[in-house]
Amino acid sequence: MEKPLTKHIRKDQRPLSLKEYEKVGGYESVRKILKGISPKEVQKIVIDSNLRGRGGAGFGTGLKWSFVPLDVLKPKYLIANADEMEPGTFKDRILLECTPHQLIEGMIVAAYAIQADVSFVFLRWAYKTAADTITKAIHEAYEAGYLGKNILQSGYDLEMHLHTGVGRYMCGEETALLNSLEGKRATPRAKPPFPQISGLFGKPTIVNNVETLCCLPHIINNGADWFNELSLTNDSGTKIYGVSGKVKKPGAWELPMGTTLRELIEVHAGGMADGLKFRGALPGGASTDFLVEDHLDVKMDYTHVAAAGSRLGTGTVVILDDKTCPVGFIKNLEHFFAQESCGFCTPCREGIPWVEKILNSIETGEGRLEDLKLLEFHTKYLGPGNTFCAFAPGAMEPLQSGLKYFREDFERHIQEKKCEFKNFKFQVSNSVES
Amino acid sequence: MPSKMLTTEEIKEINHAIELVPYKKAACIEALKVVQQNRRWVSDESLKEVAAFMEMSPEELDSVATFYNLIFRRPVGRHVILLCDSISCWVMGYEKIKNSLNEKLGIEFGETTSDDRFTLLPNPCLGTCDCAPALMIDNDLYRNLTIEQLDEILSKYK
C-alpha cells in the first residue's frame, strides 16, 4: 500500500532537512515542471488526477486553478491554508511538523500552475513546532534556489512568507483568510468576485489546503493515472484519516481514499475502548452530520459519505460512545460555533447562541418538549441559503442529524429533567486513562 | 499625556512586516502581535501608539484587535494557560482538568491569579485530538493530560 504523503515521516517525527529530502526525491517535481511543462499542462495533469480539496469542501483543485487568468500582470498569490482549527482535526499538523519541504514543494507546483509570484503559509497560532519547521524549511529552500528570483535558472520567480494567525476559526474560510491577511477582521467576502479573479489585495489568488498541496509533487512525479489508482473508489488519492474519542488507539493514518469507517475504527484505531460501544461519529470534524452504526461500512470518500447524508469534511473522525451524552456532545459543538461565529450576519450571530442556550436548558433538565421544534426551526433557518457563508449551515449539520439519530436522548433529558450520563462519566474516564 | 512610545526594536519588527504587504495598514495584526509579545497584552495606550504608527484610527485598530481570540485587550499574567475545550478533549475528560485547574489556581476562565503568575483561558481545538485532553502554557503543548500531572506541569512556570 503506497503512502506518498507520509512515507518519509520518521518515527520520532523529526522533519527531513533539505539535503535528506532531496536524497529521497524531494523537489523532483519542481525540476520537472520548470524544465518544460507549461502551467496549463500542470493544470491538466492535476485536473486529470481528480484531486479534490482536502480542507473540507472537496472542490476540484485543478478546476479551481483554471479560473485564474494566466495572462494578467503580477502580483498573483498562492496561499497554503494551514489554519487547521476544525474541532477534531489534526491531520495537517502532522504534515506541517514532519514534512515541511513537501508542503513547500507542493506550493511551488501550485504557484507555478497559476503563475503566482508571491506565496504565504497561513499558519494557526497554536502550531508552534510547525512555525519553527516551516521557517527553517523556507530558509533552506531559498538558500538552495528553489525560492526567490529565477528558480533553478528557469526565469520563474516565487517569494514565500510565513504568516501566523491570532486565533479565529473563520480564518479557515478562504475569503475570511484573505481579509485577515490584509489586516482586517476575518469576515467572509461576497462571491463573486471569486478569489481567483480578485483575491488578496484585489489580485488573483488561490487558497489550497495543506494536505491538498502535499499531494501535488507526487501527482507531477507519478502521473494522474497513478494518483487515481491509489484510491479504492472514484475519488482519487490517499487520505490522511484520523480517529479521536474513546477508542483504544486514537491516531491518524494515510490510507487509500475510500477506506471504510469500520476499518478506521476497528482496525486502525484498535476498536472502542473497553466497556464502550460505538454510538455515532462525526466523519470529518465538528461541522459534519453524524454517521451511526448503519453507516459503518460507508466508504470514506466525498461521494459515499455524501450519499450517507454527511460530508467527508477533513476526514478526521470524532467518535461518540454509548456512555457519553449526545446532548452534551452537541452542546459542546454549538458552544464552539456560537463563540467562533464572526458576527457579520444576523442569523448566525443570533441563532447559534440561542441554539446553545436551548441545548444547555435541555442538558440541565430545564428543557421543554417544544424546544425540540425550536431546534429544528434553527436547523432549517440557519441552513444553506439563509446565511452569508457556510459557517452556520455547517454548525447545523451535527445538530440536525443528532436530533434525528439521538432523539430519544433529547426526550429523556426533557422528561426526566436530568442528564443520566452525568453519573458514570467519571468512572469511564478513569478506566480509559489507566 | 505621557505616552510610552514604541521601542526602536518594535518599530523595526513592525517595519519588517510592512515590507511584505502593499500598504501599511495591512500589517496591523502583525504590529499588534509585536506589541503584545513585548508587553504581554495590548493596553489602550499601546493600542493608540500602534494606531498612530499604522496611520489608523484607534477605533479601527480596536475593531481588529478585539476580533481575534489571541490578541489580549485585558491584562494577562506572566503565563497564559489555554485549555482546549473542543469536542475530542471534552469527550476525553476536559471538565475534570478544568475543575482541577480552577481549584489549584483559585481562578475561573478569564481570570488571573493574584500573584500575576497565570491567566486561565478556554481555547478552541488545539489540533492534537488523538492525544486529548490537551492544553498549552505559553508556547508549550501538553497532551494526554491527567489531573495527576498538573502540579508538575504548573511548577515549571514561575
Residues B95, B59, single domain; the answer is no
Amino acid symbol at A106: G
Is residue B143 included in any domain, yes or no?
yes
Q: Which residues of A touch B128 (CB under 8 A)?
A: 90, 93
pLDDT at A422: 83
A431: number of Cβ within 10 Å: 14
* CA-based nearest residue in chain B for residue A252: B130
Task: List, as one string, the DSSP characters of A315-338.
Answer: SEEEEEETTS-HHHHHHHHHHHHH
Give me the residue from A126, A182, A433 closest to B26, CB to CB: A182
CATH number of the domain at B46, please: 1.10.10
* pLDDT of A419 higher than 90: yes
Q: What is the mean pLDDT of chain A?
A: 95
Of B64, B124, B146, the CB nearest to A85: B124
Complete DSSP assignment for chain B: ----PPPHHHHHHHHHHHHTSSSGGGGHHHHHHHHHHHHSS--HHHHHHHHHHHT--HHHHHHHHTTSTTS-SS---SEEEEEE-SHHHHHTTHHHHHHHHHHHHT--TT-B-TTS-EEEEEES--S-GGG-S-EEETTEEE-S--GGGHHHHHHT--
Task: Taking residues A225-239, report their average pLDDT.
Answer: 98
| A256 DSSP β-pair partners | A238
A183 contact residues in B (CB cutoff 8 A): 21, 25-30, 64
What pLDDT band is residue A73 in, cutting at 50, 70 and 90?
confident
Average pLDDT in the A215-221 region? 98
Q: Is B98 domain-assigned?
A: yes
Average pLDDT over residues A383-391: 95
Task: Note whether A426 contacts B27, CB cutoff 8 Å.
Answer: no
Please provide the distance, in angstroms rounded to a whole number, between the alpha carbons at the two ends of chain B. 34
> A291 has which bridge partners?
A281
Mean pLDDT of A132-153: 98
Predicted confidence at residue B131, as pLDDT, reads 97
Determine the residue among B42, B88, B142, B143 to mutate to test chain A binding: the one whose Cβ has the most chain A Cβ atoms within 10 Å. Answer: B88
Q: How far is B64 from chain A (nearest CA, A)?
A: 5
Give the integer Cα–Cα distance in Å for A6 and A94. 9
pLDDT (tens digit, 9 = 90+) per residue, A334-360? Answer: 999 999 999 999 999 999 999 999 999
CATH of A238-321, one of 3.20.19.10, 3.10.20.600, 3.40.50.620, 3.40.50.300: 3.10.20.600
The predicted structure's pLDDT at residue A430: 39
Q: In this structure, are B94 and B139 located in the same domain?
A: yes
Backbone angles phi, psi at A156, to 5 degrees: -90, 135
Q: Of B22, B37, B67, which marks where a domain is finished?
A: B67
Best mutation target among A162, A244, A430 (most B Cβ atoms within 10 Å) is A244
Average pLDDT over residues B73-96: 97
Residues contacting residue A32 through CB under 8 Å, at least 6 positions apart: A220, A221
- Which residues of chain A does B129 touch, with a Cβ-Cβ cutoff of 8 Å? 87-90, 242, 244, 250, 316, 318
What is the band of A425 on the pLDDT scale with cuts at 50, 70, 90?
very low
Cβ under 8 Å to A: B residues 14-73? 20-22, 25-30, 32-33, 63-64, 67-71
A11-45 burial, b at 16+ Cβ within 10 Å, e below that, comes to eeeebbebeebeeeebbebbeebbeebebeebbbb
**Which of 1.20.120.610, 2.102.10.10, 1.20.1440.230, 1.10.10.10 would CATH assign to domain A326-416?**
1.20.1440.230
pLDDT tens digits for range B115-133: 999 999 999 999 999 999 9
Q: B22-53 pLDDT, tens per residue? A: 999 999 999 999 999 999 999 999 999 999 99
Q: Is the pLDDT of residue A424 over 80?
A: no
The pLDDT score that the predictor gives to residue A423 is 62
Residue A428 has pLDDT above 90, yes or no: no
Q: What is the CATH number of the domain that holds B120?
A: 3.40.30.10
User: Residue B1: which pLDDT band, with cuts at 50, 70 and 90?
Assistant: very low
CA distance A403 to A409: 9
Q: Which amino acid is at A234?
A: N
Cβ pair B86:A332 closer than 8 A: yes
Stretch (H or E) spanning A44: helix A39-49
Answer yes or no: do B99 and B122 share one domain: yes
CA distance A405 to A402: 5
pLDDT > 80? residue A95 = yes
* Domain A18-229 superfamily per CATH: NADH-ubiquinone oxidoreductase 51kDa subunit (3.40.50.11540)
Specify if B127 maps to a domain: yes
ipTM of the complex: 0.96
Query: Does B137 map to a domain?
Result: yes
Among B71, B87, B146, select the one facing A333 at the smallest CB separation: B87
pTM of the prediction? 0.95
What SS3 class is residue A253? strand
B52 occurs within a structural domain: yes
Nearest to B127 among A93, A201, A250 (CB): A93
If asked whether residues B95 and B63 sit together in one domain, one would say no
Nearest-angstrom CA–CA distance, A177 and A175: 5
Is residue A246 over pLDDT 60? yes
Segments forming the whole domain that contains residue B110 = 79-155
Nearest-angstrom CA–CA distance, A369 and A410? 9
Name the nearest CA neighbour of B137 among B85, B84, B67.
Answer: B84
- CA distance linking residue A240 with residue A142, whole number of Å: 29
B31 in a structural domain: yes
Q: How confident is the model at residue A4 (pLDDT cuts 50, 70, 90)?
A: very high
Cβ <8 Å between A90 and B86: no
Cα angle value A240/A245/A247 (rounded, 5°): 85
CB contact under 8 A, B93 and A429: yes
Domain-located, residue B72: no
Tell me what pLDDT residue A71 has: 87
Strand-pairing partners, residue B142, are B135
**What's at A83, amino acid-wise?**
D
Select from A105, A79, A330, A88 the least CA-distant residue to A214.
A105
Domain range annotation of chain A: 18-229, 238-321, 326-416
Through-space distance between the first and last CA atoms of chain A, rounded to whole angstroms: 34
Burial class (CB in 10 A: 0-12, 13-18, 19+), A256: buried
Q: Report whether pLDDT(A432) > 70.
A: no
Give the pLDDT confidence of A394-404 residue by residue, as tens digits.
999 999 999 99
- C-alpha cell of residue A227: 494518483
Pick from B26, B69, B124: CB nearest A183: B26
* Partner A contacted by B157 (CB < 8 A): no
How far is residue A197's CA from residue A180's CA, in Å, rounded to a whole number? 18
pLDDT tier at A385, thresholds 50, 70, 90: very high
3-state DSSP assignment of residue A31: helix
Domain count, chain B: 2
Partner-chain residue, chosen from A128, A161, A186, that has the shortest CB–CB distance to B67? A186
Give B87's contacts in chain A (Cβ within 8 Å): 87-88, 282, 286, 318, 329, 332-333, 336
**Cα distance between residue A308 and residue A293, in whole Å:** 12
Q: Is A318 in contact with B87 (Cβ distance < 8 A)? A: yes
**Is residue B88 one of the residues assigned to a domain?**
yes
Averaged over A28-53, what is the pLDDT?
Answer: 97
